[in-house]
Amino acid sequence: MTHTFDTTVLREYDIRGIIGETLGADDARAIGRGFGTLLRRDLGEGAPAPMVAVGYDGRVSSPMLEHALVEGLTASGCNVRRIGMGPTPMLYYAEASAEDVQGGIQITGSHNPANYNGFKMVFRGRPFFGADIAKLGELGAAGDWLDGTGSVETVDIMEEYVERLLAALAGVDTAALETLKVGWDAGNGAAGPALELLAKRLPGEHHLLFTEVDGNFPNHHPDPTVEANLADLRALVAEKNLDFGVAFDGDGDRIGAIDGEGRIIWGDQLLMIYAEDLLGRLPNATIIADVKASRALFDHVEKHGGKPLMWKTGHSLIKSKMKEVSSPLAGEMSGHVFFADDYYGFDDALYAGVRLIAAAARLGKSVTQLRGEMPAMLNTPELRFQVDESRKFAAIGEIADRIAASDAVADTTDGVRVTTDDGWWLLRASNTQDVLVARAESDTDDGLERLLRQIDEQLSLSGLERGESVSH
d(CA 33, CA 164): 32
Residue 110 annotated to the active site: yes
CB 402 within 8 A of CB 382: no
In order of 291, 294, 388, 423, the CA distances from 444 in angstroms are: 21, 14, 33, 9
d(CA 206, CA 208): 6
CB 110 within 8 A of CB 98: no
d(CA 107, CA 57): 6
Q: Helices 267-279 and 295-303: crossing angle, nearest 10°?
A: 10
What dihedral do alpha carbons 408, 411, 415, 417 form, nearest 10°?
-60
d(CA 77, CA 125): 20
Indicate which residue of 76, 110, 294, 327 is catalytic.
110
> What DSSP assignment string belongs to 211-224?
-S--TT-SSS-S-T
Catalytic residues: 110
